[in-house]
Structures are given as C-alpha cells and as structure tokens.
Amino acid sequence: MKTQNPDYREQVRAIFDKAPFIADLGLVLSDLGPGWCDTDLVVAPKHLQQEGYVHAGVQATMADHTAGGAAGTLVRSNEMVLTAEFKINLLRPALGDRLRCRATVLKPGRTLIVAESEVYAIRDGKEKLVAKATVTLAPVEKGK
C-alpha cells in the first residue's frame, strides 16, 4: 500500500506517545509500515478480569488502537483517524505473559479505512490467536 505522508512513522508514533490511556495500559508500538502496525503488551495483574484472563476490554483496546496505527500510516500529514466502529470476536480465553497484535489495512479509502487486527497471547513461548477484530476508521482533518 502507498502512504501519502513521508513522515508517517513519526505521526503514528505520536498517537501512541500522546494517548494517556495507551501509556497507562502499557501498550507499546513495536513496528509499522505502510498499511500495517504491530504492538506488544506485557501482561500485568491489572489487565485481568475476574477469572484471571486478560479482560476483553484490554484486547479490544489493543485491536482498536493498533488498527488506528495501521490506518494512520496511510492518511495525509494534516489528517488523523477516528474509529467509527469495530467488532471483535474473543476466540479463546487470553492467558499469557504477553499479548501481541498485528493490524493490517484491508481497504484504504478517502472516507473510510477498514483494518483487521489479530491479537495473540504468548504463553510458555507459544503463540495463540485469542481475538480478531474488524475496525472501520474515518480519516478526519486535524484540529477540526
């Protein structure tokens, strides 16, 4: 996919650095390129729900924000992306020391960008797909 912004890396880094909820959660941008983004999360006790699994809300935040990173690589320098909607399937109980997410743009566009996010739990060195999301994002002019 083609980016329209030579500084897309800095722009996407900023949506990780400047989002307090993402910093608080501990979600880290690990790699990115035109149309895709990878993130990591070291699982801590605070991420869990009542049964000891990683909370669906943590997985959803990761899927959504990483999709925002992937879509953010494709918009113009005066634009940002906002999530219009997403759907996530929680496929297995998320157990592990770390979560990893890869988001990929399925369809770029001027009005809407559709991305998919896969969330993997890593436990004892083995990686399992625990959630998959489809995210619809809208590019909007900054400061509007």
Which residues would be at the binding site for a second copy (CB under 8 A)? 14-15, 18-22, 24-25, 45-51, 55-58, 60-62, 64-65, 80, 82-93, 106-107, 111-112, 114, 129, 132, 134, 136, 138
Cβ proximity to a second copy: between 38 and 62 the closer is 62
47: left (phi over 0), alpha (psi -120 to 50) or beta: alpha
Q: Which amino acid is at 79?
A: E
Cβ proximity to a second copy: between 24 and 124 the closer is 24
Cβ proximity to a second copy: between 111 and 124 the closer is 111
Least gap, CB of 38 to a second copy (angstroms) = 17
Question: Residue 77 and residue 11: Cα distance in Å, rounded?
Answer: 8
Least gap, CB of 31 to a second copy (angstroms) = 20
Least gap, CB of 60 to a second copy (angstroms) = 4
91: phi then psi, degrees, rounded to nearest 5: -85, -35
Least gap, CB of 30 to a second copy (angstroms) = 18
| Residue 59, number of CB atoms within 10 A of its CB | 26
Largest CA distance in the chain: 46
Cβ proximity to a second copy: between 62 and 70 the closer is 62
Structure tokens at 35: 């149309």
Question: Residue 3 and residue 78: Cα distance in Å, rounded?
Answer: 13
